[in-house]
Amino acid sequence: MREKPVDALTLEDAAEELAALAGEIAHHDNLYYQNDAPEIDDAAYDALRQRNLAIEARFPELQRADTPSQTVGAGVSEKFGKITHSVPMLSLDNAFSDEDVADFARRVRRFLKLSDDAPLAITAEPKIDGLSLSLRYEKGKLVSAATRGDGSVGEDVTANARVVDDIPHALTGDAPDIFEVRGEVYMSHADFAALNAGRTEAGLPLFANPRNAAAGSLRQLDPAVTRARPLRFFAYAWGEASAVPGQTQSEVVEAIGRFGFPVNDLMRRFDTIEGLIGHYHHIELIRAELGYDIDGVVYKVDSLALQKRLGFVSRFPRWAIAHKFAAEKAMTVLRAIEIQVGRTGALTPVAKLDPVTVGGVVVSNATLHNEDYIKGIGQGGAILREGRDIRVGDTVIVQRAGDVIPQVLDIVAERRPADAEPFAFPTTCPACGSHAVREDGEVVTRCTGGLICPAQAVERLRHFVSRNALDIEGLGDKQVEFFFEQTDPSLRIASPADIFTLEKRQASSLTRLENFDGFGARSVKNLFDAINARRRPSFSRFLYALGIRHVGETNARRLARHYLRFDDLRAAAEAAEPPVERKDRGNEEWQALNAVDGIGAIVAGAVVEFFHEAHNREAVDALLREVRPEEEIPPVADTASPVSGRTIVFTGALERMSRHEAKAMAEEFGAKSVDSVSRKTDLVVAGPGAGSKLKKAQELGIEVIDEDAWFKLIGR
């Protein structure tokens, strides 16, 4: 999967790989930093990190809370000097509901022994999603700037703060002798987008969101880099002050504005909880139009005298609280619905959105799950969104929760353009043009062009050569990917037939396989020998190798045993016409296919679907020019076998055969092999370590034998 170009990853692939990379990189960090015992070299480690960055750049919405891109090894802060805050920089307690806010006000009143109707003014202002900074002014001049760090000691970023336009070098007006202004460094949406656009052009890794961009830009060793980044600043608090310019929070913030700082114009003062909550909802409503990220609303007791009395609990002031926005949702416009084809052929609709920040991350892709979801139908036919469907052009609500792939939740009906059309789910695969089908009772639509579909190719090829399929030694996962990625026509393997023409194509080529890393003259010869040894596979292996949906080994064996020759099965499947309507029974070939022992309509349908797809027929034809499946030998007459017609369970460790082989053998002798013991079981073959199945067999009085007895029984 790693070798798949980032551009070719689907949303699901990307989420899966980011999760794996987070774990792997943490593992290597641990080995390197804690154990001093790295398992991989620096280049391989860097490659993992680069890959993580590249995937995050393409899918910023998938950035994980534990992403390695935000943990920059050990001791970044070492590169900056340290500044001890003269007044600690505190954090805020969180409220998540109106009830939490009412509790906060009650706590404040109780602490201050204020009655329920005594006046209590509280301010409300946006909680800016950036990084906090403390700016120290002495005699009106900026002398130092520090990040929050751990609250007591921060990093010295003075030189960088000086190149941020919003931060004055000298305060205007009658500022106190010593005054520390505190606030948030952030980046606007527009500046963030422009910065990333420039980085795309320069081939640099992208920032996942404005907060990361702001933090990365401020914490630069070279202030020239910071200067080139459009950082902004909002002041909302203060630290040490030789004199405090006001009696209330709002007065001091106003004064800070007069000193030359940008202050947020959405700060208001209220006397009631209802007022606070009303403002919270107002801010939430206009959130998307603010042009910068906020993640909630901060409430602060306005009176500084009361703030002083209230004081702190651990790292939080008792006089303030952050009311966080609920589930991370945002509104944007759905521009297109793209269909991605997964490795197993599932067609997933993905919403292409006008980029929107959802909980601090820019989202431009979101999943639409499947055809029904778009229509407003949920699991088991449940009605979603009161039945509203989703159309291109709709204004949609997007939700992102933690590491989960963002999804389109709902639409805003009033904003639907008059010409918006219901989405027509494709009936062909966008990756290969093959027919795409949705089986009865399924929600997923799948591509039927398994053998030729580029989205599924690698997975299909891997299956084709795997142990229980054609079992080609020397063609492991890595090699399959290697051959698939080659552009030279003498090397590329894109479909099963290509495996068997490789040697011929190489014979007349100047691009020699033996010159590639990992191949030598000997291994190339071994590979060709292994391939040639599989030109006469058994019918059932061959059929299984084709990777037809629902045709696993057992069904492949059932079909092979019934039709005996691959060509006969194929002819039957091509001629079969499944019922179109319910009352209809399908044609004779269809009924015959359904009548094969153990084969029902679902499997039969998948087989027919496969052979009705022209692309598959071509791929099979190409393959049959190279490979000839053996004719199946009719099973030994049932009565001749002592186990025929009996139901057998294999359990415990088998020493002379794999579980797999055991089942095949049982079937060969006309028995049925199942996985669990029940009253219907006739015989249990138990190896060492057999547990609950053996116990159950004994309880039910079922005959139990060991492996040797089994071989004796079938006469081998």
320 scored as a contact of ligand IVH (CB under 6 A): yes
Please tell me which residue in 127, 329, 663, 672 is annotated as part of the active site: 127
In whole angstroms, how close is the CB of 250 to ligand IVH at the nearest point?
12
* Binding window for ligand IVH (CB under 6 A); candidates: 121-129, 409-417, 552-560, 690-698: 121-129
Q: DSSP state, 515?
A: G
Which of 70/490 has CB closer to ligand IVH?
70
293 scored as a contact of ligand IVH (CB under 6 A): no
307 scored as a contact of ligand IVH (CB under 6 A): no
Q: Which residue of this chain has its Cβ atom nearest to ligand IVH in the complex? A: 132
The token pair at 577 is 């016409």
* Binding window for ligand IVH (CB under 6 A); candidates: 69-77, 316-324, 370-378, 405-413: 316-324
184 scored as a contact of ligand IVH (CB under 6 A): yes
Which of 283/666 has CB closer to ligand IVH?
283
Give the H or E element holding residue 447: strand 445-447
Q: Do 24 and 67 form a contact (C-beta atoms < 8 A)?
A: no
Which of 133/546 has CB closer to ligand IVH?
133
The token pair at 566 is 């691959």
- Paired strand residues for 674: 649
Instruction: Say how far apart CA 297 and CA 126 lie, in whole Å.
Output: 4
In whole angstroms, how close is the CB of 447 to ligand IVH at the nearest point?
47
* Three-class SS state of 664: helix
713 Cβ contact partners less than 8 Å away, ≥ 6 residues apart: 642, 643, 705
Convert 637-674 into a string of H (helix), E (strand) and C (coil): CHHHCCCCCCEEEEECCCCCCCHHHHHHHHHHCCCEEE
* Binding window for ligand IVH (CB under 6 A); candidates: 122-130, 365-373, 623-631, 650-658: 122-130
- Paired strand residues for 436: 447
683 scored as a contact of ligand IVH (CB under 6 A): no
Which of 255/298 has CB closer to ligand IVH?
298
- Beta strands 153-155 and 178-186, pairing class: unpaired
Binding mask 618-657 for ligand IVH (x = CB under 6 A): ----------------------------------------
| Footprint (CB under 6 A) of ligand IVH, residues 92-111 | 92
Which of 313/614 has CB closer to ligand IVH?
313
* Binding window for ligand IVH (CB under 6 A); candidates: 124-132, 155-163, 367-375, 597-605: 124-132
* Binding window for ligand IVH (CB under 6 A); candidates: 109-117, 125-133, 395-403, 645-653: 125-133
Instruction: Say how far apart CA 536 and CA 208 lie, in whole Å.
Output: 53
Instruction: Say how far apart CA 95 and CA 134 lie, in whole Å.
Output: 25
In 3D space, the residue among 56, 358, 66, 64 whose CA is nearest the CA of residue 208 turns out to be 56
Which of 154, 317, 406, 578 touches ligand IVH by CB under 6 A? 317
127 is catalytic: yes
CA atoms within 13 A on the CB side of 432: 28
559 scored as a contact of ligand IVH (CB under 6 A): no
Q: Phi/psi of residue 102, each to 5°?
A: -60, -40
702 scored as a contact of ligand IVH (CB under 6 A): no
In 3D space, the residue among 345, 348, 339, 336 whose CA is nearest the CA of residue 12 turns out to be 348
- Beta strands 647-651 and 672-674, pairing class: parallel
180 scored as a contact of ligand IVH (CB under 6 A): no
In 3D space, the residue among 576, 474, 476 whose CA is nearest the CA of residue 530 turns out to be 474
431 scored as a contact of ligand IVH (CB under 6 A): no
Which of 148/541 has CB closer to ligand IVH?
148
E strand spans, 130-280: 131-138, 141-147, 153-155, 178-186, 232-241, 268-270
* Three-class SS state of 190: helix
Instruction: Say how far apart CA 499 and CA 479 lie, in whole Å.
Output: 11
Which of 59, 104, 179, 236 touches ligand IVH by CB under 6 A? 236
Give the H or E element holding residue 602: helix 601-612
Instruction: Say how far apart CA 527 and CA 342 lie, in whole Å.
Output: 29
132 scored as a contact of ligand IVH (CB under 6 A): yes
Which of 25, 215, 237, 346 touches ligand IVH by CB under 6 A? 237
Q: Do 571 and 550 form a contact (C-beta atoms < 8 A)?
A: no
In whole angstroms, how close is the CB of 495 to ligand IVH at the nearest point?
56
443 scored as a contact of ligand IVH (CB under 6 A): no
Give the position of tokens 């030109």: 535
713 scored as a contact of ligand IVH (CB under 6 A): no
In whole angstroms, how close is the CB of 145 to ligand IVH at the nearest point?
14
Which of 128, 431, 461, 546 touches ligand IVH by CB under 6 A? 128
298 scored as a contact of ligand IVH (CB under 6 A): yes
322 scored as a contact of ligand IVH (CB under 6 A): yes
393 torsion bin: left (phi>0), alpha (psi -120 to 50), beta (else): left
- The per-residue DSSP string of 5-44 comes to -GGG--HHHHHHHHHHHHHHHHHHHIIIIISS--SS-HHH
Which of 62/214 has CB closer to ligand IVH?
214
| Footprint (CB under 6 A) of ligand IVH, residues 76-95 | 90-92
697 scored as a contact of ligand IVH (CB under 6 A): no
Instruction: Say how far apart CA 339 and CA 447 lie, in whole Å.
Output: 11
Site for ligand IVH (CB under 6 A): how many residues? 14
* Three-class SS state of 366: strand
Which of 235/351 has CB closer to ligand IVH?
235
212 scored as a contact of ligand IVH (CB under 6 A): no
342 scored as a contact of ligand IVH (CB under 6 A): no
Q: Do 445 and 346 form a contact (C-beta atoms < 8 A)?
A: yes
Which of 127/534 has CB closer to ligand IVH?
127
Q: Which residues bind ligand IVH (CB under 6 A)?
A: 90-92, 125, 127-128, 132, 184, 236-237, 298, 317, 320, 322
Query: Would you please indicate which residues are annotated as catalytic (active-site) residues?
Result: 127
